[in-house]
Each structure stands twice: as structure tokens, then as C-alpha cells.
């Protein structure tokens, strides 16, 4: 009886730790997606500024073209790095989608 109980406890702890792992991946995805969204909006904003300064020669919100480029040179690579991690975390989902797409 005791060994059955400890086996049950073992099974439950396995199931529980699997659930915790799943929750952590979902949380990691949510944090990453939020970061991506914020950085993406930043890149969009800076690109608008670059276009504006290039066309008019005026500064954009007090920033000249050089300053805008410096910000873009930080946000661009950061976004690329986040995209690589994001793609890695969602690779499984994408693989399943491809299977559905090419299924005969």
C-alpha cells in the first residue's frame, strides 16, 4: 500500500513538474512577444524619424539623423536577436503548420 502511495506521489510530482515546465515556456513566450512588440514599435518610430530627416533635413523630435542612426543600430540587432529566440521557441508550432500545409 505504501509503495503504491509513493508511486502515485511520484506520478503526480512528474505530472506537476511537466505542467510547471509548460507554464514556464508559455510565460517565456509571452515575455518575448511583449519585448518584440515594444522593440518593433521603437524601430518603426525611429524609421519614421530617419525618413523624415532624410526628406526634410529637419531634426525629428530634437534628434538629428546621426542620433537616429545610433538608436537604430542598437534596436535593429536587438530585434534580430529576439526574433531568432522567438523563432526557436515557436519552431515546433511552425513545423506542425508546415505539415498541415503540405499534407496530401
Q: Which residues bind ligand HEM (CB under 6 A)?
A: 29-30, 33, 36-37, 40, 83, 86-87, 90, 93-94, 97
Give CA–CA dist 33/15, Å, rounded.
27
Alpha helix (H) ranges present in 1-104? 2-56, 65-102
| Residue with smallest beta-carbon separation from ligand HEM | 90
Give 39 or 68: the residue with its C-beta nearer to ligand HEM.
Answer: 39
**Minimal distance in Å, beta carbon 29 to ligand HEM?**
4
Give 59 or 90: the residue with its C-beta nearer to ligand HEM.
Answer: 90
Give CA–CA dist 93/97, Å, rounded.
6
**Minimal distance in Å, beta carbon 28 to ligand HEM?**
9
- Our measurement of the distance from residue 26's CA atom to the centroid of its chain's CA atoms, rounded to an integer in Å, reads 11
A 10 A CB-CB count for 28 gives 13
Give 10 or 87: the residue with its C-beta nearer to ligand HEM.
Answer: 87
Amino acid at each position: 500500500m505504501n509503495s503504491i502511495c509513493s508511486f502515485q506521489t511520484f506520478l503526480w510530482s512528474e505530472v506537476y513538474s511537466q505542467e510547471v515546465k509548460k507554464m514556464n515556456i508559455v510565460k517565456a513566450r509571452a515575455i518575448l512577444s511583449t519585448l518584440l512588440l515594444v522593440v518593433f514599435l521603437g524601430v518603426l518610430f525611429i524609421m519614421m524619424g530617419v525618413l523624415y530627416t532624410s526628406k526634410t533635413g529637419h531634426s525629428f523630435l530634437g534628434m538629428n539623423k546621426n542620433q537616429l542612426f545610433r538608436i537604430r543600430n542598437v534596436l535593429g540587432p536587438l530585434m534580430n536577436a529576439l526574433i531568432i529566440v522567438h523563432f526557436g521557441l515557436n519552431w515546433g508550432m511552425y513545423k506542425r503548420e508546415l505539415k498541415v500545409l503540405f499534407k496530401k
